[in-house]
Amino acid sequence: QSALTQPASVSGSPGQSITISCTGTSSDVGSYNLVSWYQQHPGKAPKLMIYEVSKRPSGVSNRFSGSKSGNTASLTISGLQAEDEADYYCCSYAGSSTYVVFGGGTKLTVL
Cα separation of 18 and 21, whole Å?
A: 10
Q: State the amino acid at position 20 in one-letter form.
A: I
102 vs 23, 59, 67, 69, 105, CA distance in Å?
A: 11, 23, 17, 18, 8
Among 9, 15, 16, 100, the residue binding another protein under the rule CB under 8 A is: 100
Q: Least distance in Å: CB of 15 to another protein?
A: 28
Establish if 47 lies at the interface with another protein (CB under 8 A). yes
Q: Least distance in Å: CB of 18 to another protein?
A: 19
- Cα atoms in the 13 Å half-sphere on the side-chain side of 59: 2
In the shown chain, the binding pattern of residues 15 to 34 toward another protein, with x for contact by CB under 8 A and - for none, equals: -----------------x-x
Among 64, 68, 105, 110, the residue binding another protein under the rule CB under 8 A is: 105
| C-beta separation of 98 from 28 below 8 A | yes
Which is nearer to another protein, 12 or 104 (by Cβ)? 104
Q: Strand, helix or coil at 89? A: strand
Binding interface with another protein (CB under 8 A): 2, 32, 34-36, 38, 45-48, 51-52, 57, 89, 91-93, 97-105
